[in-house]
Chain A
Amino acid sequence: MLRLLLFRARRDRIVVPIWVAATGLLAYAGAAGVQTEFPTDAGREAVLQVAIATPSLLALRGLPDGGTLGAYVYFQVFCYVAIMAGLMSIFLVTRHTRADEERGRLELVGATPVGRAAPLGATVLWGLVANLALGVLVALGFQGGGLAAAGSWAAGLAAAATGFAFVGLAAVVAQLAPTSRAANGISAAIVGAAFLLRAVGDATGTPDFDAITVTSAWPSWLSPIGWGQHVYAFTRADLSPLLLSAALAVVAVVVALVAQSRRDVGSSVLRERNGRAAGGPLLRSSLRLAWRLQWPGVVGWALGGLILGSLAGTLSGSLTSAADLSDQLQRVLELFIPGGKGQLVDLLVIAVVGIAGILAGAAGAQAIMRARGDEADGRAELLLAAPVHRSAWLLGYVLVGLVSAAAVALAAGLGAGLSFLGTEPERFWSSLGAGAAQLPAAFAFVAVTALVFAVLPRATIPAGWGLVAVGAFVGQFGALVQLPEAVRDISPYAHTPQLPGPDPDWGPAVVVVAVSVVLVALSVLALRRRQLTT
């Protein structure tokens, strides 16, 4: 068991430290940023009053609990820290369970004298260790950012417990799902659902009479992220909600262990159906292959976009749509909504669809990563030994990436548009426009990933995800952590036209598209010069 645990730690010696460090950095940047931007309680209370008056902002951040520094930082960043912990945990679990099983590595281990439950047990333990490390870094990050020590450690514990709850859930999913891809997809959807549940619960919560704290509605209590929020690390420091996380984790792990010990290696509850005996005329080119491989994932991403987008109309009820904003409120809002100007409802649509823009960029970049996956596993050899031009091969994936990104972004726009049909039907088209406005930035991620693929093939997958993550962070938190303008402008999301709004500026977006086209052209040239690299 110890040996298996160490083996897992060794395999993850790069990826887990990156997750842990990035999350710690997020905590540090959040704390330090708030401190310089809003040094006084009064300033922070003013922001909270705006946020509470427009509860949809709460959906994007968390539960306010007064204007003290720690409480305010916790309100701003805890949900995102928890998402990081959740994603790290689910990928970790799938990697060491279903993915190993799929590749036949579990059989190698299973043939050695270790118990049947040992690999899963070791994975869960390793997940616990990784989350504890993440918790320590989060605590150090908050403390380093100038927050009180006791609260920082409570926050770290909350992050670790939330992540560990997702370890348990992902372990169960890995038992059910037939493939690692399906397992990661379902588990990621669970993390997304946990975020959405608490978003709805927080936004529909009841403000207390002092108007700077909010008591969440019941949906928050269905979410492990919600439990973590209710620790209120810097004010009440009530650790009891974490018992729920721990209990969920323990129950889930037991269920997973029982399932593991009762089933055959390689089997799963959700069965994989047989496929078709023939490819049909639709599967005769590398472009169609790319699409065939990509579309099931796109459906998932697009559904996520649709649900996310529909939050806009659902949450807009509480907004005063008429009033233009005073300068001070405007400045506050910019912290919540990157580059936001104009009417509140517009800003809400921009913010919500903007998050879908990140999903769109990720879906697009993922198409290019599939080309790399084919190359690394030797499948590309089968394709490129056929009369298929390398340029056509790559351009097929670029095209599929663009279509995927468009599907996700437009689905979010559509979701937003539909959610306004009952109240403000005239917003339907402008919401779709907000979706379309995400395309230039998403294209940029497709193009950059393609260039990395052509020049540094082995770096494609880490660089692809990493760039999307950095772009998302700079876009969403750039203002909060006070990155200089020049740095923020590197993120393609900084140039997304602000739609709906009075004067969307398409100029920078056109530049982004032009640069992307050049990058794609360069990557085609580079790919034609390089040989296959496994």
Chain B
Amino acid sequence: MAAVIQASGLRKNFGRVNALDGLNLSVDAGEVHGFLGPNGAGKSTTIRVLLGLMRASGGEVAVLGKDPWRDAVEIHKRLAYVPGDVSLWPNLSGGETIDLLTGLYGGADPQLRTELIKDFDLDPRKKARSYSKGNRQKVALIAAFARRADLYVLDEPTSGLDPVMEAVFTAQVQRVKSEGATVLLSSHILSEVEELCDRVTIIRAGLAVETGTLGDLRHLTSNAVRAITRAPAADFETIPGVLHVRRDGDALLFDVETDATAAALAQLTKHPVHSLTVTPPSLEELFLRHYGTES
């Protein structure tokens, strides 16, 4: 499948700060791609480069097959964007803002617009000045989803939304996906990522540290094993890929890397085993591992 976003070795520096330091990112057509990383990792900067709002200091980048700096307007015709920090014109009403933003792309689908305003429970008559943070976010989301685009670029779109609105948002992402669109979703909300994303890219300090499906990512890490058995701990410590072996009463506990699972199980079955649980790492653990400074 053709890549909708293809960046390799992307670099961007602000003075002496290297916000992006050789980032690779590839988003396939029709997928919802999660874009994760700790604060200041460079997610918003990447997105601004992809939109042609900033010029990369180095590296290759193509969006919808075009150079975002040179062909920005061509790309933008097929794209919808929700910025991370939505700031609106204080004296325009929400409805006016939605019509302005969709009007720039040729207009909203009137039916979608009405439905979205209802689903997101927005009062479109209020001036943007008097909207709360969540309501400003809703205005940008409605403007983005009220017309059909090929690529949706969403930078932390649900920060500030309540759980009910998050559900509305999730439904919208699923709708545009079913219509064949591609979504790049930067997010800190792991349940959202787990529910929506086909693949994720995790970046840290301007560099992609991991990319793949959530299953792939889990595969790269270790599972936690807990067995009620008399097998001596020392037998396991020697197996490569088995870590943190310890005893807790009847229970034997250890972590095992995916590749070492077979060897560890073989060793276990040499003794009677009364009960066995194997737990994959939670998403939080997975990310904390990637976000942390040690790696």
Contact = CB atoms under 8 A, between A and B. Distances in A.
The A interface is mostly helix, strand or loop, or mixed, namely loop
Given A272-B129, A275-B125, A388-B73, A381 B96 contact: no
Contacts of A327: none
Interface in A248-276: 272, 274-276
Contacts of A384: 51, 53, 72
B93 A277 contact: yes
A527 to B, nearest CB: 13
A10 interface: no
Contact of A275 (B81, B93, B104): B93
Nearest to A292: B92
Question: Which of B81, B90, B101, B104: most chain A Cβ within 10 A?
Answer: B104
Contact of A278 (B54, B96, B153): B96
Question: Which of A284, A292, A293: most chain B Cβ within 10 A?
Answer: A284
Interface string A380-397: 011111111100000000
Given A278-B95, A384-B53, A284 B107 contact: yes
Contacts of B125: 274-277
A381 B101 CA distance: 11
Given A284-B107, A382-B140, A384-B53, A272 B83 contact: no
B28 interface: no
Nearest to A283: B100
Contact of A283 (B85, B91, B99, B124): B99
Given A179-B91, A272-B127, A275-B92, A280 B101 contact: no
Contacts of A387: 73-74, 76-77, 104-105
A105 interface: no
Contacts of B105: 386-387
17 contacts: A102-B129, A275-B95, A275-B125, A275-B126, A275-B127, A280-B96, A283-B99, A284-B99, A285-B103, A381-B83, A384-B53, A384-B72, A385-B76, A385-B79, A386-B105, A387-B74, A531-B54
Contact of A276 (B51, B95, B140): B95
B48 A283 contact: no
A457 to B, nearest CB: 13
B58 to A, nearest CB: 14
A110 to B, nearest CB: 17
Nearest to A530: B55
Interface in A479-522: none
Contacts of B100: 279, 283-284, 289
A421 interface: no
Nearest to B44: A381
B88 interface: yes
A83 B91 CA distance: 29
Contacts of A531: 48, 53-55
Contacts of B202: none
A383 B104 contact: yes
Interface size, B (range):
35 or more
Nearest to A289: B100
Given A274-B126, A379-B88, A532-B53, A286 B104 contact: yes
Contact of B89 (A276, A379, A386): A379
A90 to B, nearest CB: 20
B98 interface: yes
B170 interface: no
Interface of A: 102, 179, 181, 272, 274-280, 283-286, 289, 292-293, 296, 374, 377-379, 381-389, 531-532
A381 B88 CA distance: 10
Contacts of B153: 385
Nearest to B155: A381
B8 interface: no
Top 3 nearest A-B pairs (CB, nearest first) are A275-B93, A279-B99, A284-B103
B267 interface: no
B277 interface: no
A275 B88 contact: no
Contacts of A280: 96, 99
B130 interface: yes
B89 to A, nearest CB: 6
B233 to A, nearest CB: 55
B129 A179 contact: yes
B140 A381 contact: no
Contact of A389 (B73, B79, B87, B96): B73
Question: Which of A272, A385, A532: most chain B Cβ within 10 A?
Answer: A385
B104 A274 contact: no
A387 B85 CA distance: 20
A386 B130 contact: no
A285 B54 contact: no
Interface string B55-71: 10000000000000000
A378 B93 contact: no
Nearest to B49: A531
Interface string B87-124: 11111110111111101110100000000000000001
B99 A381 contact: no
A191 to B, nearest CB: 23
B53 A272 contact: no
Contact of A378 (B85, B127, B129): B85
Contacts of A278: 95-96, 99, 124
A275 B131 CA distance: 12
A179 B90 CA distance: 9
Contacts of B90: 102, 179
B224 to A, nearest CB: 44
Nearest to A178: B129
Question: Which of A102, A284, A289, A381: most chain B Cβ within 10 A?
Answer: A381
Question: Which of A276, A383, A389: most chain B Cβ within 10 A?
Answer: A276
Given A283-B99, A382-B81, A388 B129 contact: no
A95 B140 CA distance: 28
Contacts of B88: 379
A412 B16 CA distance: 52
Contacts of B79: 385
A279 B100 CA distance: 7
B96 A279 contact: yes
Contacts of B126: 274-275
A385 B51 contact: yes
A272 B130 contact: yes
A181 B90 CA distance: 11
Contacts of A179: 90-91, 129
Contacts of A379: 87-89
B96 A276 contact: yes
A376 to B, nearest CB: 9
A379 B53 CA distance: 12
Nearest to A102: B129
Nearest to B54: A531
Nearest to A288: B100
Nearest to A370: B89
